[in-house]
Amino acid sequence: MLDIVKLTKKYTKNNNIFTALNEVSFKVDEGDFIVVNGPSGSGKSTLLHTIGGLIRPDSGQVLFKGKNINLFTGKELELYRKRNVGFVFQQFHLLPYLTVFENIKMVCPKPVNRRKINEYMEKCSILPLENKYPSELSVGEKQRTAFIRAIITSPDILLADEPTGNLDPVNSEVILSLIGEFHKGGKAVILVSHNPGAAAKYATKSIVLSEGQIIN
Ligand SMILES: Nc1ncnc2c1ncn2[C@@H]1O[C@H](COP(=O)(O)OP(=O)(O)OP(=O)(O)O)[C@@H](O)[C@H]1O
Ligand SMILES: [Mg+2]
């Protein structure tokens, strides 16, 4: 489904060029559940953002079903982000002026399937908070809202950046098992985790990044 070929991303940091991703290559097939880990700063979020079409690599390619997403027009890239990938951001990126329900609803195709949204909010224990704004939520509640927003459209690939990073063990397991359910439906998952042990029972492959390179 995805072919990541020699992906390289450089940032300018204090007037120096810093290589955040250095020729990273791997494949993601349908049914893959890939867990990515590695130390802070090793390039995990950069990798996910590049695959999700949110940042452009300096060189290399992200091929989705054989097509290089970096050659997509603005419209094609928008559709790729809307239909094909679901993204759980490390910093959530909820819209502050929309409620929990509205944040989730905004990504849904019309007519909105209210029952499906309610089911997910219920499973993630945020149904009673549906009319609250992000500023009124705990970090874990924001994280669960962001998670539902990523998964509600049934994308082909879920890109999840530390989706359980701020959750207690019970909510962590709820999210992981929902990701597991999503994956069993024939979808692909790339999950960044500092705690790969928790996700190990779902993983079909694992990748370890160090200084922008795959070391394992
Ligand atoms: N926009 C940017 N400008 C300059 N440097 C950046 C930028 N974004 C990331 N970096 C640097 O690139 C490196 C990789 O960052 P990245 O966020 O991908 O790491 P990470 O593995 O996700 O870390 P963490 O586990 O802390 O989330 C870091 O050294 C970071 O400081
Ligand atoms: Mg990160």
Kindly list the domain boundaries of the chain, sorted by start residue: 2-214
Over residues 143-148, mean pLDDT: 94
Could you tell me which residues are beta bridge partners of residue 61? 5
CA 65 to chain centre: 18
Query: What is the predicted pLDDT for the residue at 216?
Result: 77
∠ CA 43-15-69, rounded to 5°: 40
Cis peptide bond prior to 128, omega within 30° of 0 = no
CA 41 to chain centre: 17
pTM: 0.93
Site residues for ligand 1, CB cut-off 6 Å: 11, 13, 20, 38, 40-46, 90
Query: What is the predicted pLDDT for the residue at 197?
Result: 78
User: Both ends of the chain: CA-CA distance in Å?
Assistant: 21
Architecture (CATH level 2) of domain 2-214: 3-Layer(aba) Sandwich (3.40)
> Which residue has the CA at smallest separation from atom 5 of ligand 1?
11
Query: What is the predicted pLDDT for the residue at 199?
Result: 81
Using alpha carbons only, how large is the chain's radius of gyration in Å? 17
Q: Which-ligand-closest: CA of 88? A: 2
> Which residue has the CA at smallest separation from atom 18 of ligand 1?
43
pLDDT digits (tens, 9 = 90+) for 109-121: 888 899 999 999 9
Residue 135 scores a pLDDT above 90: yes
Ligand 2 ion: residues within 5 Å (CB) = 44-45, 90
Could you tell me which residues are beta bridge partners of residue 213? 210
13 burial class (0-12, 13-18, 19+ CB within 10 angstroms)? exposed
pLDDT digits (tens, 9 = 90+) for 185-206: 889 999 998 877 778 888 999 9
CA of 40 to the centre of ligand 1 (A): 8
> Which residue has the CA at smallest separation from atom 24 of ligand 1?
40
CA of 97 to the centre of ligand 2 (A): 25
